[in-house]
Amino acid sequence: MTDKKNDSRNTYVCPYKMAFMLDNWPRKLLQNPAGIVGEYINEGDTVIDFGCGPGFFTIAMAGMVGQQGKIIAVDLQEEMLEHAKRKAAAKNLSDRIEFHQCEKDRVGLELTKKADFMLAYYMIHELPNPGAFFQEARSFLKTGGKFLVVEPKWHVTREKYQEMLGLAEKTGFSVLAFPKKKGGRSVLLT
């Protein structure tokens, strides 16, 4: 992940000043978190939200995992994490969310329990090295766990999406499904 254009991959991370575009009521109408991830999350689950931004999915998923569950919200930008922390506190969900600021080229999580579900929503195309990300992410997912990756069609061509799938499979992920109505080019991995 990087804050500036990367010459080799032409990646770009949506800056914090655009957070209002990532977390608003019209988006909830178009990309309802319960409709997108609800079928994959159970009470008590451990969930990782990669590229959590201002907490659009994080907050909704914290409600889905219940008191015994845990969300790990990961983002590169401290400002995005602070925004998500304020939202969690306002909704009394802070006790079930762990916030983690990653590095530009490494997630760097140290987990005591592997994830039941992971989400990477509109963020793989922002990475300088998606292959390294998939390799690291694979180590966070428990056997039989699920990983939903959704990429925006306006940023990611069909060819780039196929390339991304190839990288995921090369690191040991398997495709379970290509779910519809998730808001973009979607794949469910395990």
Q: Give a three-class secondary structure readout of the chain.
A: CCCCCCCCCCCCCCCHHHHHHHCCHHHHHHCCHHHHHHHHCCCCCEEEEECCCCCHHHHHHHHHHCCCCEEEEEECCHHHHHHHHHHHHHCCCHHHEEEEECECCECCCCCCCCEEEEEEECCHHHCCCHHHHHHHHHCCEEEEEEEEEEECCCCCCHHHHHHHHHHHHHCCCCEEECCCCCCCEEEEEC
pLDDT at 4 over 50: no
Q: Are 22 and 61 in contact (CB under 8 A)?
A: no
Which pLDDT does position 10 carry in this prediction?
Answer: 44
Q: Are 80 and 21 in contact (CB under 8 A)?
A: no
pLDDT at 116 over 70: yes
Q: What percent of the chain has pLDDT over 70?
A: 85
CATH superfamily, domain at 31-189: Vaccinia Virus protein VP39 (3.40.50.150)
Q: pLDDT band at residue 1, thresholds of 50, 70 and 90?
A: very low
What's the average model confidence in pLDDT over 46-53?
Answer: 96
Half-sphere exposure of 137 (CA within 13 A, CB side): 35
What's the average model confidence in pLDDT over 58-76?
Answer: 97
pLDDT at 12 over 50: yes
- CA geometry: angle 49, 54, 55, nearest 5 deg: 45
Q: Are 118 and 141 in contact (CB under 8 A)?
A: yes
